[in-house]
């Protein structure tokens, strides 16, 4: 019974709950049992909130019995541990916030509570969402459910791994340069970065405020549509959230994609592309063509500079955002004789190497004499990148590419080579720079590991993006594939001593 319940999509679980074939408490217990079994090997969760989940499940059962249920009432959800929650620690996987308890919920958390969702825990992440592998967590490394010797991607690797492994049917992550789409691709699940401004960032521990966006993970496009609808909408607490109506994404999924034009950027034939990944993505594009879409070559000439531009703008914003972690108001506080020494010791011991690297990069780019040469120039290039997309979308409805140039790489393989690590996000970063929505959808396997198709859409046109993703998903069976965890666990050592 447990295995059956943890294999359900959220939509399937909704139907079972509404027909009273299973209770929210039974569904929650099944997922908590699976978490207990898998976590010694997978390490997807920093905090498991078992008792809170049971209480939420009982309340969900009351609401269902009273006919008061919403789309996500009783559905287990995992939350990336950079989303503030009043009833569980919010650590950003950093020693500087180890054990920190927020006095308020993030807006997306509050909206899910209002729907009656069940929170099973807070998932692991690269520290302050800075990374592409979840190896930068101060606590431990999350493992890929398809191969426990490989990374799940990052920074939302814990959320992606939890959904892929059946520890939760839904999860939230955040995406600053690919941190939802890339781990979704590595773990063989669906992940969506909404348009910047579609979802409130209030209560998200900031990395780069002009790039960060919260979004959903699920095992189907339908489930992503349901979760996106639940968290979207204007929020007066976030001045960057946009006051636009929230469509019924799930109801709009089944539109025929015949005649839609799908752009293929000629600049995305990059050095270092795995030939098997490229072949698998070509097959996916051929399937979209078979479904009636037209493939059109487009040019995004300035996306060549997106990676370099991102690693000026994002660290610059991180340098400013992380200045608040000084040991004075909250978090780690190391007392010294002088205030300067207290700052130095608190931040020196509290932040990990990658966070320090990005703070230094950002502080340098913002410093006197370098601001115009680096930060201002990067912002100008960012404008050119957005213009490229604007021009492309005059010709096409969505733009398609691989989500990542390779499959999931080995744990430890790139930790000493930050440039190679950064290149894992080469296809995902441009959408963040332009503020556009993007979705990663399973499209096959290479070397026995998941490969993912990325689709990028016009600003606030998640509907079209989801329609194309849904059409592809329904025409193929890749989204039904599950990691062979039972076989992997038979040979795997347990333990949580990484990091």
Catalytic residue numbers? Answer: 80, 155, 179
Side-chain half-sphere of 168: how many Cα atoms within 13 Å?
33
CA distance 194 to 181: 11
CA distance 326 to 480: 46
Contacts of 371 (CB under 8 A, 6+ apart): 365
Cα dihedral 171→174→177→180 (10° resolution): 0
| Angle between helices 462-475 and 221-231 in degrees, nearest 10 | 160
Contacts of 324 (CB under 8 A, 6+ apart): none
Please state the separation of Cα 476 from the chain's center in Å.
23
Residues 396-411 as b or e (16 or more Cβ within 10 Å = b) = bbbbbbbbbbbbbbeb
Q: What is the DSSP string of 78-138?
A: EEETTB--TTS---TT-GGGTT---SS--HHHHHHHHHT-EEEEEE--SGGG--SSSTT-S
- Backbone angles phi and psi of 273, in degrees to 5: -70, 130
Dig out the tokens for 232 from the structure. Answer: 């979207």
Q: CA distances (Å), 112 to each of 69, 321, 341, 395, in order?
A: 12, 26, 42, 37
């Amino acid at each position: 019974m447990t295995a059956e319940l943890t294999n359900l999509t959220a939509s399937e679980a909704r139907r079972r709950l509404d027909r009273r074939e299973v209770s929210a408490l039974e569904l929650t217990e099944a997922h908590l049992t699976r978490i207990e079994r898998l976590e010694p090997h997978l390490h997807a969760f920093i905090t498991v909130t078992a008792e809170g989940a049971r209480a939420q499940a009982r309340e969900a059962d009351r609401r269902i019995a009273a006919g008061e249920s919403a789309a996500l009432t009783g559905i287990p959800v995992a939350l990336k541990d950079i989303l503030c929650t009043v009833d569980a620690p919010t650590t950003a996987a950093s020693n500087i916030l180890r054990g920190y308890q927020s006095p308020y919920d993030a807006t997306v958390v509050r909206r899910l509570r209002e729907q009656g969702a069940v929170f099973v825990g807070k998932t692991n992440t690269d520290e302050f969402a800075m990374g592409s592998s979840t190896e930068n967590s101060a606590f431990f490394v999350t493992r890929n459910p398809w191969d426990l010797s490989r990374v799940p991607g990052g920074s939302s690797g814990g959320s992606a791994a939890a959904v892929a492994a059946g520890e939760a049917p839904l999860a939230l992550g955040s995406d600053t340069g690919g941190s939802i789409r890339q781990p979704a691709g590595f773990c063989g699940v669906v992940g969506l970065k909404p348009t910047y401004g579609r979802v409130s960032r209030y209560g998200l521990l900031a990395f780069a405020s002009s790039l960060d966006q919260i979004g959903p993970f699920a095992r189907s496009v339908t489930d992503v549509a349901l979760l996106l609808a639940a968290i979207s909408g204007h929020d007066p607490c976030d001045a960057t959230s946009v006051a636009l109506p929230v469509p019924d994404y799930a109801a709009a999924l089944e539109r025929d994609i015949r005649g839609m034009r799908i752009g293929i950027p000629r600049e995305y034939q990059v050095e270092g592309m795995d030939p098997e990944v490229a072949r698998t993505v070509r097959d996916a594009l051929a399937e979209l063509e078979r479904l009636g879409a037209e493939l059109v070559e487009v040019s995004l000439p300035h996306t060549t500079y997106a990676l370099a531009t991102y690693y000026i703008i994002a660290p610059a914003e991180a340098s400013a955002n992380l200045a608040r972690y000084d040991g004075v108001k909250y978090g780690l506080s190391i007392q010294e004789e002088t205030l300067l020494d207290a700052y130095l010791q608190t931040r020196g011991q509290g932040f990990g190497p990658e966070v320090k690297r990005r703070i230094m990069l950002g502080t340098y780019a913002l410093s006197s004499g370098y601001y115009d040469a680096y930060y201002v120039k990067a912002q100008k290039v960012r404008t050119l990148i957005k213009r490229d997309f604007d021009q492309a979308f005059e010709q096409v409805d969505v733009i398609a590419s691989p989500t990542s140039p390779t499959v999931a790489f080995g744990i430890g393989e790139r930790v000493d080579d930050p440039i190679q690590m950064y290149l894992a996000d080469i296809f995902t970063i441009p959408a963040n720079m332009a503020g556009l929505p993007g979705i990663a959808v399973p499209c096959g396997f290479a070397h026995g590991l998941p490969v993912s198709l990325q689709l990028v859409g016009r600003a606030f046109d998640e509907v079209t993006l989801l329609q194309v993703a849904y059409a592809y998903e329904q025409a193929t069976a890749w989204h039904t594939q599950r990691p062979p965890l039972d076989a992997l666990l038979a040979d795997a050592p347990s333990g949580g001593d990484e990091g």
